[in-house]
A and B are shown apart, each in its own frame.
Chain A
Amino acid sequence: MSTLKKGYSILYQWLFHRDDRLLLIIAGSVAGICSGLAAVALRLSLQTVLEWLHPFRHYGWAFVLPAVGALLSSLYLEKIAREGAGHGVPEVIYAVSRYGGLLRFRSSYSRLISSFLTIGSGGSAGPEAPVVMSGSAIGSNIAKFLSLNERQRITLVGCGTAGAIASIFNAPIAGLVFAIEVILGEWKFVNIIPIAIAAVAGAEVSQAIIPEQVIFNHQTFQVGLLDILPSLCLALVTALVSVVFTKTLQQSGKIARTSSFPLWVRAVFGGCIVGTIGIFMPVVLGEGYHFIQEMISGTFSLGVFITFVAVFAKIFATAMTLGWGGSGGIFAPCLVIGSLTGIVFHKFLLILLPSVGCAREGAYALLGMTGIISGVMQAPLTGIFLIVEITGGYEMTLPLIVVSSISSTMSHYIEPASFYFKDLIERGQFLRPGTDARILSDLNISELIETRYTKVSGNMVFREFIEIIKTSRQNFFPVIDDRTNEYKGMVKISAIRKYVLDPGMYDMIFLSQIMDTEVMTVSLENDLQEVLEIMDINGMETIPVVEHDRFVGMISKTRILDLYRRELIVQTSAH
């Protein structure tokens, strides 16, 4: 029995402890399968409820349907799940960069339910961000269950994300790219393999359960060199539309937050507006996959002016849904807005140049989708791979790259932060691995403090002090009150030369008379960036740390640099 146990122990050590790749692959596959299941469940339930509600859409009272959905969604999130508001993806990025990917278990299901209520009732939002949130939380909680470390946990968060995106779009490469480009922000060999396997697992789950339900049918397009120039123009248009979309979403949220109404009232108001628009323009309702398919296959029947209006109607409806209390993501709205923009552009192109031999309008719908995804998320690779995979349009790779790269670059000029990152950047919490801000935030101030300092009393005579400094290598001596133990000031060796050179003063002065009481101090509550700022402004190489009037220790720039280098090596090493 003991031999068996020993053998098992050796095998376990060899498989999982010596090198954790196999462990991450197995755990990542589980995360991919679970998040794939979550995505499939949301997709099927949305499809069922949208079909069930479809016959009622033409009634006049149907404008209340999105309001009811948004009401239930906001009440569920606020009163039952008690989740903080937010789209989900920035929350995942925040958890990855700030807390090693720690996510609450409730996040693995709460957004699925709330977005089902919002989108199923007709709210203009996408199911992708909720499944990303859910998949990431599943990955994080698997890591917690297995007591994995921070690096391994972050990899599993990426696995959950990739599995979710791969499953909902049946696009494993897009899942992998999205997880790395948007969520983790670093391309590391050790991450790529488990995340790729999780993405494949997620896509296979979707294929196994709903093989007949591909979101978009594959189409073949004849795209030639003649389309490159129009693609450049379309890229500029999509960059502009992306910026308008991002700004409208942000403004809508800000206006909603300034109102004194409770969340559920705001959600009802937003839902009513969306429902009213939806009566006249059904393309704004729900996730809009059906309309995207029509646009790709060239059966979308709206005229150029109505389609043009529909672009802004969808932007407005999405802002009213997400900004005013509904739940969901911006991925699907980006696809709808992008394909509408592409169609409008194509129609205008044919009006201006009727004889130009460019590709069909479906191809421009795809280019528009890539342009908007790349512009809003500033994630060009995700835009390219997603569209190539979900439509099978590999012949379009060249114009897709052109549109994607130009759109993301141009929108970056106008709006430097993507929709997902903007809020985090404003809060100073966008901490990508290997960046200065991330390294400084990962260094704990308590490990920087040098505590082995000899303290001296304010009542000490200078002669006694001379005896102390004879045997000490300290350049600073904190002065402490004998009675209360409170920090009073600092004696700097460089500032007392004139007294040292005058032995006549040795018995005449006390340290309280020569200490510097104006020395800037910091506390344990300050973060390292604040500490460095104070040191720079005051030209200090060393700064005392004082907590509740008690001297804790000193922080030196040398020590900071030492630990900074060590942390940088850890964060940028292959593992």
Chain B
Amino acid sequence: MNYKLLHIFRNTPFGRETFLQSLYFCKTINAFPLAYIPRSDKFLLYFSNDAVQVDLDHSYLTSPDTAKSNAEKLFEEMGTKPMFYEPKNFTASSLPDISTNFDYLCCPRSVSDMSSKIGLGHIGPRVRRIIKHATFPVLITSPVFKPWKSISVFFGGSKNALTALTLGLKIALASGLPLDIYTLLEKQDEAYYRELIEKEGLDEPVTQLSRQWFFYEKAHFDTMLYDVPHNSLIVLGAYGHGIIKDLLLGSKMEQIQSTVMNNLLITGPHCSMSLQ
């Protein structure tokens, strides 16, 4: 299949790291990376029930005259044909509409804040809204380019988690890399989760493609995070709650992303996935 990943290119050393990560992701799963070099500090993403305006910080517009050639060099370094995305439609002259017709989107942890904040484990509100409405998975890269050698799926039994598991299996199939599943036993026992995937018809691919399925008691959440290999791509489902809901109810995604520095591949509530 012709899977496409959209990357918003930032012409800075930090941007180079995230772009390399996107290129590596595409190369590993045999997808096509498309780089968008922004010409204004904002753009719009129109999803089926929301229009998300992404306000970029000024580092995205650094040295616009060298941005394309720098991106091309990185494409070449990874042995990938350079491909750039050009917006066709504009809501206003300085507000391009970016297509949401992609299979993956690469986001730093926060698109609107300076990269210095990212180390603080903060996921920006725009990234949350993108996750909430996107019909495609969102790749949130580690701050430094870090090739991953395995896939770790966090499976909690929800609908989103099932989508994430399907995506993990798909990535494992495309990349040939080993897949591990991590489950935190909150209210149910091991058998419940095994029955669940059997009901969803995922038992066979899980048996074929996964290396190991780890179960942890609820209290051992931090241990589980520590056990995830540092060079593994973490795949998880998220609801894309706003900050207020997260503060009230807590957010696993927030906890995970602020604790581990791995690359994260997140499926939101509108993301659907099949193994075919």
| A residues in contact (CB < 8 Å) with B | 82-86, 91, 94-95, 98-99, 102-104, 106, 144, 147, 257, 427, 429, 446, 524, 527, 547-548, 550, 552
Contacts and interface: CB of A to CB of B under 8 A. Distances in A.
B32 A103 contact: no
B245 interface: no
Interface in B68-116: 81, 83, 88-95, 97, 101
Contacts of A102: 46, 49-51
Contacts of B97: 99
A268 B104 CA distance: 44
Contacts of B55: 82
Contacts of B94: 84-85
Contact of A84 (B42, B46, B49, B50): B42
Which of B46, B91, B95: most chain A CB closer than 10 A?
A: B91
A84 B93 contact: yes
B2 A83 contact: no
B49 A94 contact: no
Interface of B: 2, 4, 32, 41-42, 44, 46, 49-51, 53, 55, 81, 83, 88-95, 97, 101
Given A82-B42, A82-B55, A144 B49 contact: yes
Nearest to B99: A525
A94 B44 CA distance: 13
A550 B2 CA distance: 7
A550 B93 CA distance: 34
A86 B93 contact: yes
A85 B93 contact: yes
A550 B4 CA distance: 12
A308 to B, nearest CB: 35
Contact of A524 (B53, B91, B95, B101): B101
B92 A84 contact: yes
A548 B32 contact: yes
Contacts of A524: 2, 101
B91 to A, nearest CB: 6
A527 B101 CA distance: 12
A86 B92 contact: yes
Contacts of A552: 2
Contacts of B53: 82, 104, 106
Nearest to A147: B49
Contact of B95 (A84, A103, A446, A548): A84
Contacts of A104: 44, 51, 53
Contacts of B89: 98, 427, 429
B8 to A, nearest CB: 16
Nearest to B46: A99
Given A147-B49, A524-B101, A95 B91 contact: yes
A351 to B, nearest CB: 45
B98 to A, nearest CB: 12
Given A84-B93, A84-B95, A548-B2, 8 more contacts: A84-B91, A99-B51, A104-B51, A144-B50, A147-B49, A257-B93, A429-B89, A548-B4
A527 B51 contact: no
Contacts of A94: 91
Contacts of B41: 82
